[in-house]
Chains A and B, each alone.
Chain A
Amino acid sequence: MKDTPLLQARAVHKSFGEIEVLKGIDLTVRQGQVVSLIGASGSGKTTFLRCVNLLEEHDGGEILLDGDPIGYQVAGGKRRRLSETRISAQRARIGMVFQQFNLFPHLTAGENVMLGLTKVLGQGKAEARETAEHWLRRVGLAERRDHYPYQLSGGQQQRVAIARAVAMQPRLLLFDEVTSALDPELVAEVLGVMQALAESGMTMLLVSHEMLFVREVSHHVVFLDQGRIAQQGRPAEVFDNPESERLRSFLGRFHGLFGKALERS
């Protein structure tokens, strides 16, 4: 089926104890699309990404990757968590880049990228090394292959983390505020890599507070408000015609900083 969306979330619910964090999220990501989640702190952006990658267990609704339900199986009206092996296999089809990089500190940059290639995809050492080198070159770090994470700057670490995720050739890449922990002068190099990935046709779902970047790179922007989608659409629609007061005031905070540039684009 050519029309099956790459990722489809239907009425996704998630609670932590008493607190309902996601109150029914419906979201579609098509092959090659870049979709961005924006919203105030605590609106559930991270939680949603973590549900997609099965780091959290959503407790209602379903998430389909290429039409397959993620994490759960419904049989005889009963919803059952998939086995650990099936879940790991599903996670391998989705890449994730974290705010805090989370590189493996005991492995070099090259080994960080190679680990999943050899232990999940079953590539041989030589092939994995070549793949790793290719992607480290793509993020501009070919000569840092043998460096340990502590020998790299934050921006470089984050680029290695992106190489590690994308080298697995995932169907979908998730980015959760991947520039928030970086010094301002290192943000551009990471955004540059992400933009290049987007232009190469990678399907991406990202959370970001870099509104200029979101506006420029996204095909579709989703505004989350208190666990619900309050507005979504093409970047120009969302940024230029905020329907709710909440979105207006959310964007207003950024206008204060980048007002001129946002209005220009």
Chain B
Amino acid sequence: MLASWMTPGSFLFEAWQAREGLLAGLGVTLLSSLFSIVIATLCGIAMGVALSFGWWWLRLLARLYVDLMRGIPVLVLILFTYYGLALFGINIAAFWAGVIALGAFATAHVAENFRGAVESVPAGQMEAAKAIGLTFPRRLWYVILPQAFRRMLPPWVNTGLEIVKGTTLLSIIGVVELLLASQQVMARNYMIVDFYLLALVAYLIINFAIAQLGGLLERRFSYLRY
């Protein structure tokens, strides 16, 4: 039984043969997603602070950035970062060009979500924090952020899911992530349906895990009521 499954030409046999390439592709997908999410979260929160609390010129700059990023197709941004910057003598490895482009794109989304979350915290919270004499960074850190974070979670999980799906676009600039790795395997064995299905299942599992993590965090904040 097992023997017939493992004969050349069977799916399991071919998958086993291609395991190294596929796992490497999976690794690139996971790493590029992780880096992009970290960049987008850190830069997005910083830009969100600028959007919500910045001097007028800073708010304007942040607003311009957010609207610009939301108007550009991600693919164009990826191609620009990789090829466009090279024209100006800035050469970055395809992997990092992709990570930066995805991170820069998602930064805009995180920033906008942060602003919305901060605005949904009742004004009285900031005033109570002022009244006990907390300075601005502390008001933000100890009072506003813990409350805003809870509201940011659902859209933040969405951004994470979008980023994971967005990493497939990196294949266009030659980054061998899971999709391109799978296609390379198909080019050898022509088992197109099987390996697209395998990739599809892998993406579903990754995104399911992210959604679960988001749900877990949300339950941790369930005491946050008014």
Residues of A within 8 A of B (CB): 53-55, 84-85, 88-89, 91-96, 98, 100, 102-106, 115-116, 119-120, 148, 150, 161, 164-165, 168
Contact = CB atoms under 8 A, between A and B. Distances in A.
Given A116-B132, A164-B132, A106 B127 contact: no
Given A91-B130, A104-B129, A106-B221, 9 more contacts: A102-B127, A103-B128, A104-B128, A105-B147, A105-B225, A115-B132, A115-B142, A119-B134, A150-B226
Contacts of A53: 130-131
B132 A105 contact: no
A92, A94, A106, A120: most-surrounded residue (chain B CB, <10 A): A106
Contacts of A96: 128, 131
Contacts of B150: 106
A105 B120 CA distance: 14
A107 to B, nearest CB: 8
Contact of A106 (B129, B134, B136, B147): B147
A165 B131 contact: yes
25 contacts: A53-B130, A54-B130, A55-B130, A84-B136, A88-B133, A88-B135, A88-B136, A92-B132, A92-B133, A94-B131, A98-B127, A100-B122, A100-B124, A102-B127, A104-B125, A104-B129, A104-B147, A105-B226, A106-B146, A106-B150, A119-B138, A120-B138, A148-B225, A165-B131, A165-B132
B223 interface: yes
Nearest to A118: B142
B143 interface: yes
Contacts, number: 80
A52 to B, nearest CB: 11
Interface of B: 122, 124-125, 127-136, 138, 142-143, 146-147, 150, 221, 223-226
B134 A116 contact: yes
A165 B125 CA distance: 14
A89 B221 CA distance: 31
B205 to A, nearest CB: 33
Nearest to B128: A102
A55 B127 contact: yes
For the complex of A and B, the 4 pairs showing the least CB-CB separation, nearest first, are A92-B133, A116-B132, A102-B128, A102-B124
B71 to A, nearest CB: 35
Contacts of A115: 132, 134, 142-143
A106 B223 contact: yes
Contact of A116 (B133, B147, B223): B133
B139 to A, nearest CB: 9
B222 to A, nearest CB: 10
A149 to B, nearest CB: 8
Contacts of A120: 132-134, 138
Nearest to B146: A106
